[in-house]
Structures are given as C-alpha cells and as structure tokens.
C-alpha cells in the first residue's frame, strides 16, 4: 500500500514538474536580462518591478533583469522603466501644503503657548512663518526640474504606491525580487527634504532672533520644535500613505476640535466676548482658513457650482457654538 502510494506520488511529482517547466519555460524569466524587441505584455512579477535600459546601440536594446526602477521612473505595461512625466494635481499640492502647514501650526501654537500671548513674541511668529515659506520654496527649487517651482512627478494611483516595500514579489517561491522604490516620486522624499531644511533653518535663525528681539521668549518653543519635527518626520515615514488619503478629513476634524476647545477655554459665549480680546478673532480666522482648506481638498473644486456654496458654511460651527453655548452650560443641566 505504502509502495503504491509512493509510486503514485512520484508520478504526480514528475507530471507537475514537467508541466510547470513547460509553463514557466515559455515565459520570460524575471531573473534574466532581456535582449531584442520589448514584448507587449508584462514580463516582471509584482506591481513595481521593471527592467532598466542597459545598452542603447543603434538597433538593439538590452534591458536588465527585473528589479527596482531608478528614482523618478516607473515600469510601464511591458515592465520597462520609463521616466515619470506627470505633474502633481491640486490634491497632491494640497497634500504637500498640509505637511508644511502642520509644522507651521505647531510652531505658532507652541510660540503662543510658551510666550503667554506677549506681543514681543510677534517676531517669533513672523520668523516661524518665513522659515516654513523659505524651506518650502527651497525644497521646490532643488527638486526636479531643478531651479523651477514646478515638479515632475509620478502619479499616485493607490495606497500601495506609498508602501512598495510590502510588494516585493517571490516568483515561483524561490527568491524575492527587491523592487522597493519611490513610486509616488517626489511626494515622499519632498516632505523629508522640507523637514530637514526647515530644521536647519530654524536652528540658524530663531535662537538669535529670540535673544535679540524677544527676551529669549522663544527658548521653550525652539525646544518643542526639536521634538515635534523629528516626530513629524517619523510619522511621515510610517503613515505617509494613510495621511495622503485622509488629510482633508484630518484637517476638518482637527480644526473643528481645536475651534471648540478654544471657544470653551476662552469662554466665548457671545459675539461681544469674541471680539473682547484681539487674539480671538485672529484664532477664529485661522480656524476658518483650516475649514476652507479641508473642504477644498475634499472636493478638489471639481464642481464649483455644487461645492462653492459649501465654503459659505465655514462660519457655521462658530455661530452654532455661540447660539447653543448658553443652553449647554453644566449649571443648567444641574438645575433641571
Ligand atoms: C543586433 O542584433 C542582431 C540580431 O540579434 C545582431 O545580428 C547584431 O549584430 C546586433 N547589433 C549590435 C550592434 O549588437
Ligand atoms: C514600454 O516602454 C518601451 C520602451 O520605451 C516601449 O517599447 C513599449 O512599447 C512600452 N510598452 C507599453 C505597453 O507602453
């Protein structure tokens, strides 16, 4: 019985081995370079593996074995690495803007928090804003095309484009092809470049300004930035793809929450209380800008007739808060 089984098994194995040899033998091996004309079907496994052009003699092209494409290239449908020639759309630009604004907002918050709203901190606010602006401009200029505020980019199609290291294929379960690359060029690296330039610029500029013009009020906020910029960088490294797809919602939710927290903390319950302090209307206005940013990113302004009026709803949370605040007083709850 055992011997019979073994015979059947070995016959089965031979049949499977033979048919797979026939099947895979006719295919182009991903581990071999490719010479001659480019086949019109995909010849590399996985989403991000491609062949690089090795030699460009008069008529004969040779392509490497399958692997990661060079930076700013992506494989086409025949698995040949082709330079990306896209441009970022509004949503991509607003994503980059979001990453810049997160750092700017944190700077402004910490400067305000540690200086107790003293007017001498104004230099620090202006300095932080200029640092963010200058580092974004420098980032745009050093990215391809160099010296121009335009960007050449690969189009982002799906979440896995951000996490190509999770997509290395294992053809025939033998060895892994390493095809990790920046498929979302340059959105992923641009943020790293921005944060590094920004950190250096801040360390060069802010301490001097803080000592000279603001009685060293900026000391704690500079220390805070030395913590939160590396934290933001790590968050970007890990969650970039998730942030890319959720930042409009994040903007709306965070701005609504901080809006409510600010109103509650300052006990703004009537319009007169709102304008009693100079900083309250400013903070309210910043929140309105954040709401608008979230709405524009969410709708991508694709249908201005339909979505334009949504922008008119921006003051609604503030009005709603002021109208309902007096009914929501905890003392009233106890009274009933
Ligand atoms: C190109 O390929 C053809 C056919 O394979 C070969 O005869 C020829 O020598 C090649 N030319 C070069 C420059 O390698
Ligand atoms: C991919 O690029 C190669 C090299 O430019 C080209 O010959 C081939 O036709 C392209 N394949 C597709 C499907 O576009």
Q: What is the model's pLDDT at position 211?
A: 92
Residues 203 and 290 in one domain: yes
Q: Is the pLDDT of residue 242 over 70?
A: yes
pLDDT tens, 258-296?
A: 999 998 888 888 888 888 888 889 899 999 999 999 999
* Mutation choice for ligand 2 from 34, 35, 37, 38, CB with most ligand atoms inside 8 A: 38
Protein residue with least CA distance to atom 13, ligand 1: 57
Of 307 and 103, the structure prediction assigns the larger pLDDT to 103
Say yes or no to pLDDT of 26 above 60.
no
Q: Are residues 52 and 201 in the same domain?
A: no
- What's residue 129's pLDDT? 96
Ligand 1 close to Cβ of residue 55 (< 6 A): no
In a domain? residue 3: no
pLDDT band for position 3 (50/70/90)? low
- Do the Cβ atoms of 175 and 61 come closer than 8 Å? no
Ligand 1 atom closest to Cα of residue 57: 13
Count CB neighbours of 116 within 10 A.
Answer: 8
Q: Which atom of ligand 2 is nearest to the CA of 53?
A: 4
The model's confidence at residue 8, banded by pLDDT at 50, 70 and 90, is: low
Domain extent, residue 75, equals: 30-83+167-181
198 in the same domain as 244: yes
Residues 126 and 57 in one domain: no
One domain for residues 176 and 190: no
Q: How far apart (Å, rounded) are the C-alpha atoms in residues 142 and 1?
A: 74
**Higher confidence at residue 216 or residue 162?**
162
Instruction: State the average pLDDT over residues 225-239.
Output: 96
For 45-59, what is the mean pLDDT?
A: 82
**Ligand 1 center–CA 60 separation, angstroms:** 6
Q: Are residues 70 and 199 in the same domain?
A: no
Q: 172 and 59: one domain?
A: yes
Residue 56's SS3 state is strand
Alpha carbon of 52 to ligand 1 centroid (Å): 19
Can you give the pLDDT at residue 27?
Answer: 65
- Comparing 174 with 26, the larger pLDDT belongs to 174
Co-location of 219 and 246 in the same domain? yes
Point out the ligand nearest to the CA of residue 63.
2
Domains of the chain: total? 2
Q: Compute the distance between CA of residue 152 and CA of residue 131 in angstroms, rounded to an integer.
A: 24
pLDDT at 100: 97
Residues 262, 138 share a domain: yes
In this structure, is residue 23 part of a structural domain? no
* Residues 234 and 301 both lie in one domain: yes
Q: What is the mean pLDDT of the chain?
A: 87
| Residue 275: per-residue pLDDT | 82
Query: How many whole angstroms separate alpha carbon 82 and alpha carbon 53?
Result: 9
Whether 23 shows a pLDDT value over 50: the answer reads no
Tell whether 305 and 176 lie within a shared domain: no
SS3 content of the chain, % helix, strand, coil (to 5): 65, 5, 30
Give pLDDT, residue 10. 62
Q: Which ligand is nearest to the CA of 75?
A: 2
Query: From the CB of 57, is ligand 1 less than 6 Å away?
Result: yes
With 80 as the cut, is the pLDDT of residue 219 above it?
Answer: yes
Give the pLDDT confidence of 75-95 residue by residue, as tens digits.
999 999 999 999 999 999 999
Spell out the SS3 assignment of 259-324: HHHHHHHCCCCCHHHHCCCCHHHHHHHHHHHHHHHHHHHHHCCCCHHHHHHHHCCCCHHHHHHHHH
Domain assignment of residue 15, yes or no: no
pLDDT one-digit tens code per residue, 176-189: 889 999 999 999 99
**Confidence at residue 22, expressed as pLDDT on a 0 to 100 scale:** 44
Query: What is the pLDDT, as a whole number, of residue 9?
Result: 56
95 plus 79 within the same structural domain = no
Top-confidence residue, 12 or 253: 253
């Amino acid at each position: 019985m055992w011997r019979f089984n073994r015979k059947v098994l070995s016959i089965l194995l031979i049949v499977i081995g033979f048919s797979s040899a026939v099947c895979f033998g006719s295919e182009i091996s991903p581990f071999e370079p490719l010479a001659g004309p480019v086949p019109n079907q995909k010849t590399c496994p996985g989403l991000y593996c491609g062949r690089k052009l090795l030699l460009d003699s008069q008529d004969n092209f040779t392509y490497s074995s399958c692997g990661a494409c060079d930076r700013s290239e992506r494989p086409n449908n025949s698995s040949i690495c082709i330079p990306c020639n896209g441009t970022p759309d509004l949503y991509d630009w607003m994503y980059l803007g979001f990453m810049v604004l997160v750092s700017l907002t944190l700077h402004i918050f910490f400067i305000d928090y540690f200086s107790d709203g003293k007017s001498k901190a104004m230099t620090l606010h202006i300095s932080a804003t200029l640092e963010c602006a200058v580092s974004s401009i420098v980032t745009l200029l050093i990215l391809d095309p160099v010296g121009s505020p335009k960007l050449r980019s690969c189009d982002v199609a799906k979440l896995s484009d951000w996490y190509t290291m999770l997509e290395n294929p294992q053809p025939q379960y033998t060895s892994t092809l390493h095809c990790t690359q920046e498929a979302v060029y340059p959105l992923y690296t641009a943020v790293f470049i921005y944060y590094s330039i920004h950190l250096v610029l801040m360390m060069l500029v802010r301490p001097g300004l803080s000592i000279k013009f603001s009685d060293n009020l900026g000391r704690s906020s500079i220390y805070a930035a030395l913590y939160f910029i590396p934290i933001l960088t790590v968050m970007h490294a890990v969650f970039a793809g998730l942030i890319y797809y959720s930042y409009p919602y994040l903007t709306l939710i965070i701005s609504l929450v901080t809006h409510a927290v600010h109103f509650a903390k300052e006990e703004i319950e009537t319009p007169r209380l709102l304008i009693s302090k100079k900083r309250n209307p400013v903070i309210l206005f910043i929140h309105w800008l954040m709401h608008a940013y979230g709405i524009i990113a969410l709708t991508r302004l694709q249908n201005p007739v339909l979505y334009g009026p949504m922008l008119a709803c921006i003051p609604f949370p503030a009005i709603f808060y002021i109208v309902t605040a007096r009914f929501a007083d905890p003392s009233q709850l106890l009274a009933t």
